[in-house]
Amino acid sequence: MLGKLLKYEFKASGRILLPIYLAVFIMGILSSLFMKVPAGGLENLNVLRFLSVLFMVLYIVLIMVAVILSCFIAILRFKKNLFDCEGYLMNTLPVKSSENIVSKLIVAVVYQILGMVVAMISGILSYLIYFGTKGIDFKQIINSFKMVFQELQGLTWVYSVEVVVLGILCFIAVNLMIYAAISIGHSANARKVLKSVGAYIGLYFISQIINYTLVKIFFAIFKNMLHDLESSNLIAIPYLTGIIILEALYCVGYFVLTDYFLKKKLNLQ
């Protein structure tokens, strides 16, 4: 059933987000093309300048809209599809509440990451169209990477994997924290949205207190190793691993909370 839910969710969010992502891509290319086209006469120059500025502004606005919308759609889909009228359908399907959460989470994270990837690729492509590869010193880029590799004492892959895992976990945790807040707020009899915001602020404060306390403890333990770069490198991996474990625990906690409120405290009045 998760596969069917995923198919439905991808379609529901994609019908809004995919055209915007495509527009970002096209606008990126168009804006760099218009900036590159040489002006023929003086009359054309003004028109071309106007168009190139217009496309560049539109491109930047579209990137902002795409990023904001990918977050907004994730929240809206969860609230509207599970706690408003559509909730009468989705919560009476023969699926577990956890499947409903997982399907929405996967789709939200995939579209949010896809949005970033599209923005990055269109940015790089625009740069290449406008400046070409002449301005890029590939040798210098490779040397910079080599330097970083040396600095990290052969642990590059561990760092890379940890950073990617942490990035994905952050996306998951942010979405799940919002889901948990919405689920808590909508178990109330009245002022559900206000109580959802209150629940979010509450969860945020709790997580900040936990983070602050754990960071303090960590640096108290490893105080002696922070003075030189070599020792700092040694504790960087355990530090990153610790953050990953903590972020994973947040994900589990928010998920359990959301599932509990959907299963045991659903209140579709």
Partner 1 sequence: MNEIIFECKNLSKSYGLKPALKNINFNLKRGKIVGLLGPNGSGKTTLIKIANELLTPTSGEILIDGKNPGVDTKKIVSYLPDCISLPDWMNIRELITFYKGFYENFKEDKAYEMTKNLGIDVEAKLKTLSKGNKEKVQLILTMSRKADLYLLDEPMGGVDPATRDYILNTIIANYNENSTVVISTHLIADVEKVLDEVIFINNGEVVLQKTVDDIRSNNGMSVDALFREVFKC
Q: Report the largest interatomic distance among the alpha carbons of the chain, rounded to a whole angstrom.
A: 71
8 binds partner 1 (CB under 8 A): yes
CB of 195 to partner 1, least distance (A): 13
Size of the site for partner 1 (CB under 8 A): 24
Stretch that binds partner 1, among 34-42, 52-60, 80-88, 249-257 (CB under 8 A): 80-88
Q: Which is nearer to partner 1, 162 or 186 (CB)?
A: 186
206 binds partner 1 (CB under 8 A): no
Q: Considering only CA atoms, which of 111, 87, 118 is closest in space to residue 12?
A: 111
Inter-residue contact 88 to 94 (CB < 8 Å): no
> Applying CB under 8 A, which of residues 12, 106, 114, 170 lies at the interface with partner 1?
12
185 binds partner 1 (CB under 8 A): no
Cα separations in angstroms, 2 against 9, 93, 104, 222, 256 = 10, 12, 10, 44, 18
Distance CA(263)–CA(96), nearest Å, equals 9
Stretch that binds partner 1, among 20-28, 31-39, 211-219, 260-268 (CB under 8 A): 260-268
State the Cα angle at 40 between 37 and 41, rounded to 5°: 140
CB of 180 to partner 1, least distance (A): 18
The tokens describing 119, both together, are: 């923005």
Q: Which is nearer to partner 1, 190 or 220 (CB)?
A: 190
Distance CA(69)–CA(125), nearest Å, equals 23
Q: Which is nearer to partner 1, 16 or 110 (CB)?
A: 16
Question: Which residues, numbered 85-104, are part of the site for partner 1 (CB under 8 A)?
Answer: 85-89, 91-96
Distance CA(177)–CA(165), nearest Å, equals 18
Q: Which residues are within 8 A (CB) of 20 and not within 5 positions of it... i.e. 6 or more apart?
A: 62, 65, 66, 69
Instruction: Please provide the size of the chain in residues.
Output: 269
Please tell me whether residue 94 adopts helix, strand or coil conformation.
coil
189 binds partner 1 (CB under 8 A): yes
143 binds partner 1 (CB under 8 A): no
Q: Which is nearer to partner 1, 89 or 245 (CB)?
A: 89
DSSP 8-state class, residue 87: H
227 binds partner 1 (CB under 8 A): no
Stretch that binds partner 1, among 7-15, 127-135, 197-205, 208-216 (CB under 8 A): 7-15
The site for partner 1 (CB under 8 A) is made up of 1, 4, 8, 12, 15, 81, 85-89, 91-96, 189, 264-269
